[in-house]
Structure 1
Amino acid sequence: MSLQKPMMRGLLAKRLRFHLPIAFGIAITVALSYKFGVTEPRKKAYANFYKQYDAVKEFNAMREAGVFESVRPSGK
């Protein structure tokens, strides 16, 4: 009984025809799941934060707490 000769010619092309569509499918699936699972909720959270964010109020709170060295708290 002899062993079958290994296929040497066209092996890469044969493997690529099988593996390339699978790799693209997985890559697209991962990219879409990241987009809709991570970035869209993050965008929504940022939008909700900045709808309610008052920069002047935040600045005054930090100024009163003494965070800034160059700005004196009002009333002192």
Structure 2
Amino acid sequence: MASSALTKSQMCGLLARCLRFHIVGAFIVSLGVAALYKFGVAEPRKKAYADFYRNYDSMKDFEEMRKAGVFRVGKSIK
């Protein structure tokens, strides 16, 4: 009857308890990092592209590059 008075070993179920804690923690951290990336990198980048293309004139840009000599007709670049 002395065996019924013994407490359960602390090692029993320890791995499952630790894994449950770490999986939940990793999930919360990954959601936080994803949110930080979305609002800290992706949204400002989309806004910067939208601002750039709002007033972008491709023909004006082409003419500036042509005047600068970017396009060489008939000459091969070696």
What TM-score comes out, normalization by structure 1 length?
0.78
Partner of 2:73: 70
User: What are the within-5 Å matches in structure 2 for residues 43-62 of structure 1?
Assistant: 43-62=46-65
One-letter amino acid of the counterpart of residue 34, structure 1: Y
Separation in structure 2 between the aligned mates of residue 51 and residue 13 of structure 1, nearest angstrom: 55
Equivalent residue letter for 1:22: G
Name structure 1 gaps, 5 residues minimum.
72-76
Runs of 4+ in 1 over 3 A off after TM superposition: none
Query: CA RMSD of the aligned region, Å?
Result: 1.8
Count, aligned residues:
66
- Where does residue 16 of structure 1 map in the other structure? 19
Unpaired runs of 5+ in structure 2? 1-8
Q: Which residue of 2 aligns with 1:74?
A: none
Give distance in 1, aligned partners of 2:10 and 2:53: 64
Displacement of 1:48 in angstroms is 0.4
Amino acid at match of 1:64: K
- RCO greater where, 1 or 2, for CA within 8 Å and sep 6 or more? 1
Name the larger-Rg structure. 2
